[in-house]
Structures are given as structure tokens and as C-alpha cells.
Amino acid sequence: MSRLFITPREINFINDIGKEVIKDVVGQAIYYYTISTTKSNVHDIYEESTKKVFENPIKIDALVKYQPQDIRANKFGSEEYYTIEAYVQERDLIDKGISVQEGDFFSYGEVFFEIITVPDSSTIYGEVEHKGFVTITGKQARKGQFETHIFGPTDERYSDPDAVQDTFYQQRGFAKNQEGVTGDVRELQKNDVLDKPISGPQSVSDEAGSNAGPGFYGDD
């Protein structure tokens, strides 16, 4: 596609649509843990660390492709192994100053994953400097390799009240929503091409629900 027709305005529009789908409709997220190079004791020669220290987790909005677990049998019985892919909007990572690296970790549900690949999924209409999404592929971390507090929903079988997410807050380009600072930037709003939505970030929650469960906006 010619750059004559795909200008920065179209690039911004495409990125904003991607953010709208991920942040205002899908509502999935991973929690990303990056290795701290300053806190970890790195060997001067081998540039490796036997004990890695991680920074505080960063919540990243993503579209997660959850694959069925691979069940393997060994001399101790059977074990479940998970591999998943998380599609993250490239411009959102740039806006937040996040650089996802192989070897870092993230969690989704109650499982922790080590990042094995982070390729660019595609360019936008062949313009090499503009990427649409990156695909984060993670394999389940070995037991004891990485353990920390679990964030986000896990499984409805658990009695923990946080095991099931019953609220979802949109972002819609606002610096803050009901959960706090979003870090969400919509380029068309930033460039005064579009106004921010008058109704603000909306939600799916008990406040807008009924006896049938949480509702959207002011639905009865």
C-alpha cells in the first residue's frame, strides 16, 4: 500500500482502533515481570546471575490466546504444561516505555510463564517503522523457578473473592479511570482530531447490574 494513502493520520487511527479493541472491549491483561539488572547480582565475566531479582509487575493489556495444557507422564505421575501467546499493541508499549525481553516472566491467571519469543507480528500496511502488535510467547515456568504473589482472576473453583473478575473498567484514552492511572494514550485525541468521549470510561460492574449479575453501563 502506498504511503501516499497511508499517512501518519491513518497510522494513528489504526493504532487507536487496536487500543480500543484491547482496552475497551476485550479486557484481558497479563502481569509482566522484568529482571532488574541493578538489583540482580550479575557475574562480571559470564554476565549471568544465579539469583535474579525482578521489578514490580506491570499490568499490560493484551489479547491472550489460551491453549490447552499439554499433559505429560513421567515416573512421578502426570504433569500439566502450559504455553500461551499474548498479543500486545506495539504503540501501547511505546507509550508506556515498556520493552519486553526474552527471559523475563509474566503471569496469566495462576500460572507463571517465561518469555521465549517476542517477535513483531506485523507491520502496518508494509511501513516497516510502524508495527501493529507483538506476539509474546510464554512457556510455563518450572516450579521454584519463579514464584510470587498472583494478580488478577484465577479460577471460579476457588473461594477467594478475587478468583473471579466481576468488574471491567474501560480506559477510552483517559489518563485515569476507576482503577487509577491508565497510561492510555489515543493519538487522535492527543492531536485534537477527536474529542474524548463525553460519557467517560464506562464499566461492567455490580453497580450497573441486576439479579442476573454485573451489567454494562446502566443496563437493567
Model-level pTM? 0.85
* Alpha carbon distances (Å) from 12 to 25, 55, 58, 130, 131: 19, 31, 24, 10, 11
Say if residue 210's pLDDT is above 70.
no
pLDDT grade, residue 142 (50/70/90)? confident
Q: Which residue has the higher pLDDT, 197 or 216?
A: 197
Q: Residue 43 pLDDT > 60, yes or no?
A: no
pLDDT for res 29: 96
pLDDT average, residue stretch 1-26: 92
Tell me: pLDDT of 153 over 70.
yes
List the chain domain ranges: 8-159, 166-220
Residue 73 and residue 184: Cα distance in Å, rounded?
44
Q: How far apart are CA 9 and CA 77, in angstroms?
A: 57
The predicted model gives 207-213 an average pLDDT of 58
State the pLDDT at residue 44: 61
Percent with pLDDT over 90 in the chain: 54
Give the residue-averaged pLDDT of 19-31. Answer: 95
Closest CA to 103 of 111, 113, 115, 91: 115
| Contact in structure between 82 and 140 (CB atoms under 8 Å) | yes
The values of phi and psi at residue 189, to 5°, are: -70, -40
7-15 average pLDDT score: 95
The answer to whether residue 133 scores a pLDDT higher than 80 is yes
Give the list of residues 6+ apart from residue 69 with CB closer than 8 angstroms, or none: 80, 81, 82
On the question of pLDDT at 175 being above 90, the answer is: yes
> 165: closest CA among 173, 156, 157, 174?
156
Confidence of residue 211 (pLDDT cuts 50, 70, 90): low
